[in-house]
Chains A and B, each alone.
Chain A
Amino acid sequence: MSDHPSTYVPKTGFEKWLDSRLPIVRLAYDSFVDYPTPKNLNYWWTFGGILSVCLAIQIITGIILAMHYTPHVDYAFNSVERIMRDVNYGWLIRYVHANGASMFFFAVYIHMLRGLYYGSYKAPREVLWILGCIIFFLMIATAFMGYVLPWGQMSFHGAVVITNLIGSIPLIGGPILTWLQGGFAVDQATLNRFFSLHYLLPFVIAGVVILHIWALHVAGQNNPAGVEIKSKEDTVAFTPYATVKDGVAIIVFLFLFSVFVFFMPNALGHADNYIPANPLVTPAHIVPEWYLLPFYAILRAIPDKFGGVIAMFGSIAVIFALPWLDTSKVKSMRYRPVMRWFFVIFVIVCLGLGWCGAQLPDAQVIPGLPSFTLFDGQLNSYLWLTRLFTIYYFVFFLLIMPWIGLKEEPLPVPASISEAVLAEHNKKKG
């Protein structure tokens, strides 16, 4: 918190000397030791720390992989396999990096849903939220380009499908597409620049993460009660309280991470990406990685290609506008009896969109169920189920959020964090 006075006292001579020249130890002490955190934070609040670990893991493993990887259409696939076979512990580094992307997205989705449920985007945390959205968008771009680098069948044809989306923009789409791909098709130039950008963007993410944490420390953390810190009674020091709790959560997370890396390293990937890229053979079913499936589903839900692109980018853009779409005076959905259920449906719809994104649009949802054609597709098809989910996705943000916020009667909100903690304590005691 900005109004929290620094309590750092330099002890040694060197610390005193440094503190009057570059107070970096003071900054670290004030940010990660003495920083007051609400004492009612639950485990959903540990995902910030988990995400920092994810970013660090991706950057470290990524730098080592880049030492051995060859960004060339003829050698990329084999160089990745060579890392797995001939580089010391290369199999570990590569599997950590590949599964790390999935783990990163798993954590970021929970982190975002936590923010959504507890109203962490509301004043005074709008900028904090937007910085988070920028990180998420950069993560998508980075993950997409990283998936292209092994130059397998899914890498190549995924890159073709996604870059071609740009080409659907009227008039200027064509030239921009050529400029982006570095030629008239996805080829050597595309692979080489994707490698360059895939190396660059994580450091951009790290920069925005610093701004994100800065904004967090200015506004202070939100908490499950959704009421601001009122007194010292409401807080505990970041260290040891938050650090040890984050530590517990990070270890549990690493356990899950390790189960994938060591025992099912290819379970989250697609077998086709172990076939070297071949522009002349298109895979039967092109799908992105699981964490991008909901957006892929929204893209395919719209019959017009450019319309689909707008809907897909719109589905991310709408998250940026969230602080101004929510009209409720109450932050935490704990005290929002109606909105809470729309949130539950929203989570189910997001999972549903992910499911639909992995299916063929024409496939029947319930096999054998009689159906009829509605406009351009059978009603009993993933096409229409996806459309249903897509409609809810946008209605949730654009109509339900503003409308319920005005109409809903929230439950009584506790006067302070201490009161909320006490109430819960008494409830537990019975």
Chain B
Amino acid sequence: MKSLQTLGRKAWIKAAATVMAASLTLGAGSALAAGGALHAHEPKEGFSSSGVLGTYDQAQLQRGYKVYREVCAACHSMKLISFRNLGEKDGPFYDPKYKNPNENPVVKQIASEFEVPTIDSETGDVITRKATTSDAFPSPFANPEAAAASNGGAVPPDLSVITKARHGGASYVYSLLTGYKAPPAGLKIAEGQHYNPYFPGDLSSAWSGDHKHVPAGGVLAMAPPLSAGQVTFDDGRESTLSNQAADVAAFLEWAGEPKAVLRKKTGVAVLAYLLLFFGLTYASYRMVWRGKH
């Protein structure tokens, strides 16, 4: 053991430093190795909700809702969202005049445009009635089997929490919607499938080119859903592909995390309180321990 000790402190420090340097290199290595898909990015103007103090842009949420309603809702359900949610604080149609979203005329109007199934209490038959603000968004298909049958075998995922269920969140949704492009030569795409460099997947089996340079991304059953001019915005915003994608991504971000603004505001207050409390406690600590150290 003497030899170990005479080896000395320096040698040990060196050994430890080498291990640490090695582990850092490993970190960098795997970050490069990962990435079957391109890294998701925000729209150029960013998302108003990102950052510590970011809030939702209500006009954008309204436009996003329109994109969802006119395009996405044809195939994708949003079972966890009710009409009343649209009129809640920080929501797309919140109006300070109507603290109770069920009284919000815009929300009531939107709900009344839908029919939902119910049971006739007299006869027991399945009938439909006008939706109310407390109803969840009706789903486009009766069940997953029907959804698969209409979509080439793939069930369109529910969009209620899609931004939380995908790496990259709203940026991923934006990148995917704007990222469709023609597959590079040498990539075989099956019928009913579409290439997207942002969709996570492994294309090596469909790739006939250089095996060291398999294209990023994957294939999905959803055809490019948005195109310029597809949705007319009521506030005059130009209906480009990027604008539609950014707006619907913002709307889905809100839908997934409707309490995010309240959460961040509460967080600022909590941290401020803890900071104050820390100062007080630390001062007490210094006072109590004076002369004891």
Contact = CB atoms under 8 A, between A and B. Distances in A.
A407 B1 contact: yes
Contacts of A241: 288-289, 292
Q: Describe A's contact surface by its main secondary structure.
A: helix
Interface string A78-95: 100110110000011001
B285 A338 contact: no
A399 interface: no
By CB atoms of chain B within 10 A, which of A241, A272, A274, A367 has the most?
Answer: A274
B285 A244 contact: yes
A366 B5 CA distance: 33
Interface residues of B, number: 54
Contacts of A39: 292
B267 interface: yes
A247 interface: yes
A408 B79 CA distance: 66
A421 interface: yes
Interface in B17-44: 19-20, 23, 25-27, 29-30, 32-33
Given A91-B259, A248-B281, A78 B80 contact: yes
B5 A85 contact: no
Interface in A191-241: 236, 240-241
A240 B288 contact: yes
A78 B164 CA distance: 14
B278 interface: yes
A426 to B, nearest CB: 12
A425 to B, nearest CB: 7
Contacts of A254: 274
A285 B178 CA distance: 27
Contacts of B292: 39, 236, 241
A356 to B, nearest CB: 9
A385 interface: yes
A332 to B, nearest CB: 18
Contacts of B164: 266, 271, 274
B80 A81 contact: yes
A261 interface: yes
B10 to A, nearest CB: 11
Interface stretch (A63-71, A319-327, A347-355): A347-355
A236 B285 CA distance: 14
Given A338-B5, A359-B30, A84 B165 contact: no
A263 to B, nearest CB: 6
Given A251-B278, A365-B29, A262 B289 contact: no
Contacts of B262: 91
Contacts of A265: 263
B288 A244 contact: yes
Contacts of B69: none
B293 interface: yes
Interface of chain B, main secondary structure: helix
Given A251-B274, A259-B271, A348-B20, A363 B165 contact: no
A261 B1 contact: no
Given A241-B292, A248-B282, A266-B164, A363 B263 contact: no
A366 B288 contact: no
A245 interface: yes
A137 B285 CA distance: 34
A409 interface: yes
Nearest to B163: A274
A425 B293 contact: yes
A252 interface: yes
B33 to A, nearest CB: 5
B12 interface: yes
Contacts of A271: 164-167
Contacts of B160: 81
Contacts of A316: none
Contact of A364 (B5, B23, B33, B278): B33
Given A367-B29, A367-B33, A262 B1 contact: no
A340 to B, nearest CB: 8
Contacts of B282: 248
A44 interface: no
Contacts of A82: 80
A274 B80 CA distance: 12
A337 interface: yes
A262 B285 contact: no
A421 B1 contact: no
Interface in A250-287: 251-252, 254-255, 258-259, 261-263, 265-266, 271-272, 274-276, 284
A78 B81 CA distance: 11
Contacts of B29: 364-367
B16 A85 contact: no
Contacts of A421: 293
Interface in B29-70: 29-30, 32-33, 52
Nearest to B172: A271
Nearest to B1: A407
Interface in A91-108: 91-92, 95
A345 interface: yes
Interface string B145-176: 00000000000011011001111000000000
A313 interface: no
Contacts of B223: none
Contacts of A366: 25-26, 29
A337 B52 CA distance: 45
A341 B157 CA distance: 52
7 contacts: A85-B85, A91-B262, A245-B285, A258-B270, A276-B158, A348-B23, A363-B30
The 6 closest A-B pairs by CB, nearest first: A262-B267, A407-B1, A274-B165, A274-B164, A341-B12, A91-B259
Interface of A: 39, 78, 81-82, 84-85, 91-92, 95, 236, 240-241, 244-245, 247-248, 251-252, 254-255, 258-259, 261-263, 265-266, 271-272, 274-276, 284, 337-338, 341, 344-345, 348, 351-352, 355, 359, 363-367, 382, 385, 404, 407-409, 421, 425
